[in-house]
Structure 1
């Protein structure tokens, strides 16, 4: 196909405004005007001609280099590849219309061979939408990804071209998120102060009512209470973006994943702390929990189970407290997977909450599929629960919903995980025990096993952790008496001379007291 370079003058007649063209008196000067290129392109399907035109080159050399670039792009597809030729032609037409730079030849060849868009105009937002739509995972995980994308990723980097996303862009995004936390805290404080002030205004009196009305209107205009984006959430946002960009790399849309290289503050998981007498006393005085993750002592756990012994779902609290099932696992436990004669149950399904909707799902991880051993007391509790459930089934008759689950509502239908959490918190509050979350009841089961000397691998398998390191990281704290025994055992291995002398002196003192006591008895006789 034909192509050419030519010099053109853009001077116009001062009176008519028409281009002078060859009539321009300066045209003979080699420095006057600029160079242009024209390259014939494959014709349209109806046979009409089309071409790539571009002007404004200062030198003939620059114009020729650009023309060669266009021809190199046209030569990428083979002559017997009509689809490739059409794609390259459409790309060149689009580049010409937008007056954008010509794309790199080798990058265009790679994109054409891998079936990608030839011009890298795909934005981060476009790719995130496409990526999220392609995910075939459980609904709750999709919801989490969607929240990260909608609330954080799209507002900050959604408009950027995917192939031009850099580490600095992500660093700026996370800096902006952190700066936004200060604004959220200030707005929350202002709204809280306004609400507290409103509470001090009396209800009676015309002036007071008018004032209250004005204050309520001002509060309604304020931003609602919002949660800040903590270190753990920022790590999760990066994880979502990294997963999306990894898939883009796998499809050869990009060659570099900046999310894998951006640095964030580490998110430290809170350690489980036991409700010792000292911590309980401080909580009663201040209302503050020492840690977000708190664990009851064996005595406190026993007191709670005694308190809820008559509760309809006592068996559920018992299984979570002693065997460490997750909330969703307990709600989704099937009778067909509960083998009381074998003193075991198999965790194979769970009920998960998405918003306020509930759906059945596989366990959280592959290691979540597990068999949990049952003790005699737990088996007895489950047998009593089964008798009660059979009685409820007879009472409901045709109205009974046969879900096959161990723990259900009175009519046999699914329990709502969110309502189970609410119920647990009410039971704890009604008894006056120091507060823990329902998930902390599972933590308590782990700590009980560790305190009883159960090997950490067995504890990890019982809980459904994928790695024993997870178990160790969460449950480094154990009950005080266990820690004391461990400290004494470790200290006893160190041969310190001072300790030996003190021990010898103490033994000598004891012997002297014993001799003195014998002598006193002999004198009395």
Structure 2
């Protein structure tokens, strides 16, 4: 080093004309460490030195990690994500998102050099690729979660995704069946082995996983009630029973008479299947099962429903449409939104009101018509 700048103490000018500075500090374990910064000008090095000193004093890493984002994502998946209390299905989804959408795009960038503008560019790229807004939001959520752990572990000073606005998802009216379409569907599923499952879902608004995890011990046909206590999903570790995600999802749902009759007939048929398969039958206490008592595969149930919906002449109808239809019918019948929220297990009143705001105008029209009938003009 040629000479030290006047008054700078630890800033030096090198023989090649560039500048450098060295900072001594102690890490979290009390060990003495040194950090050297370089720059073309004295002012540049001074700024870098001040930044390093502030980071050391605040407990942040003096130097960001040099590993790539892709390398960090792999570590995050196998350690932090695996250790989290998220459901296995969510862990699988996040790992897939990281490997499919993040590693091929921002994966080559060094972890410490990822900037908010890189995150914004990622969002633009995914929009240009035609991905659904909900998928883009999930991609952002996964990246932010992974970078949050990197910041927590001291690999980066701050989370660059935290300063980027979360991608929005345009609210759309929940697709639902009209009364005529619902009747056509009921006619199409009549006699099918999964008839009772689809009727109960339409009558109660249960989610697929909730219906497939339903146990006979949670059904009281005499009282006309069922309790939602479990959810079934396909994960990387096989079919898995988990508790519902929120307290609101754990609920008691009233059964209309048609659903009670469907469940009673289903229980009789299930008993006949048990007798017919004898020792091959596995009794897990589930309401809806295969012919030998094992849990139904969620994807097979979805495929069967979509086939029956096409037979009914319905297009664009999915299994979740039954849930939306149940809510729409309840609201159109004058049921208060708060009651529908509890019926569906939504975590808040606002969610129910937002998703089913399209039912409001129909109710207003009906109220106006009733007023017109009640008064003699």
The TM tier, using the shorter chain, reads: 0.7 to 0.9
C-alpha distance in structure 2 between counterparts of 1:490 and 1:475, whole Å: 24
Change (3 A) 1:119 1:248: closer
After superposition, where does 1:71-220 map in structure 2 within 5 Å? 73=24, 76=26, 84-85=30-31, 88=33, 104-111=52-59, 120-132=65-77, 133-135=79-81, 136=84, 137-179=86-128, 181=129
**Cα contact 1:297–1:479 (8 A) shared by 2:** no
Alignment: residue pair count: 357
C-alpha distance in structure 2 between counterparts of 1:129 and 1:314, whole Å: 44
C-alpha distance in structure 2 between counterparts of 1:35 and 1:157, whole Å: 41
Residue 275 of structure 2 is aligned to residue 394 of structure 1:
yes
SS of 2:148's equivalent? helix
1:15 maps to what in 2? none
Deviation string 1:98-126 (CA, Å, 9 cap, x unpaired) is xx987823423544xx7x68654344334
Structure 1, 414-423 or 351-360: larger mean CA deviation: 351-360
Match of residue 291, structure 2, among 407, 410, 430: 410
Deviation string 1:133-189 (CA, Å, 9 cap, x unpaired) is 31222222112212222222223322334344322222222233334x2xxxxxxxx
**Cα contact 1:122–1:162 (8 A) shared by 2:** yes
Change (3 A) 1:481 1:129: closer
Change (3 A) 1:411 1:485: same
Residue 143 of structure 2 is aligned to residue 241 of structure 1:
yes
SS of 2:293's equivalent? coil
Deviation string 1:24-49 (CA, Å, 9 cap, x unpaired) is xxxxxxxxxx359xxxxxxxxxxxxx
C-alpha distance in structure 2 between counterparts of 1:85 and 1:266, whole Å: 46
2:15 maps to what in 1? 56
C-alpha distance in structure 2 between counterparts of 1:251 and 1:344, whole Å: 48
**Cα contact 1:35–1:57 (8 A) shared by 2:** no
Structure 1 unaligned spans of 5+: 1-6, 8-33, 37-52, 182-227, 273-292, 493-502, 505-525
C-alpha distance in structure 2 between counterparts of 1:257 and 1:491, whole Å: 60
After superposition, where does 1:245-260 map in structure 2 within 5 Å? 245-251=147-153, 253-260=155-162
Structure 1, 347-356 or 139-148: larger mean CA deviation: 347-356
C-alpha distance in structure 2 between counterparts of 1:127 and 1:305, whole Å: 51
Structure 1, 163-172 or 332-341: larger mean CA deviation: 163-172
**Cα contact 1:35–1:58 (8 A) shared by 2:** no
Could you state the TM-score of these two structures normalised by the residue count of structure 2? Answer: 0.81
Q: Relative contact order (alpha carbons < 8 A, sep ≥ 6): 1 or 2 greater? A: 2
Deviation string 1:371-422 (CA, Å, 9 cap, x unpaired) is 1112233222212211111111111111001111000011111111111111
Change (3 A) 1:271 1:242: same
C-alpha distance in structure 2 between counterparts of 1:374 and 1:364, whole Å: 23
After superposition, where does 1:297-312 map in structure 2 within 5 Å? 297-312=178-193
SS of 2:15's equivalent? strand
SS of 2:241's equivalent? strand
2:169 maps to what in 1? 267
SS of 1:441's equivalent? helix
Change (3 A) 1:405 1:450: same
Larger radius of gyration: 1
Change (3 A) 1:335 1:260: same
C-alpha distance in structure 2 between counterparts of 1:158 and 1:319, whole Å: 46
Change (3 A) 1:308 1:241: same
Match of residue 365, structure 1, among 212, 234, 246: 246
SS of 1:157's equivalent? coil
C-alpha distance in structure 2 between counterparts of 1:150 and 1:297, whole Å: 41
Shift of 1:58: 5.2
Change (3 A) 1:489 1:419: same
SS of 1:368's equivalent? coil
Shift of 1:252: 5.1
Residue 375 of structure 2 is aligned to residue 476 of structure 1:
no
Could you state the TM-score of these two structures normalised by the residue count of structure 1? Answer: 0.60
Residue 348 of structure 2 is aligned to residue 467 of structure 1:
yes
C-alpha distance in structure 2 between counterparts of 1:229 and 1:481, whole Å: 33
Change (3 A) 1:157 1:326: same
SS of 2:309's equivalent? helix
C-alpha distance in structure 2 between counterparts of 1:172 and 1:320, whole Å: 41
**Cα contact 2:173–2:356 (8 A) shared by 1:** yes
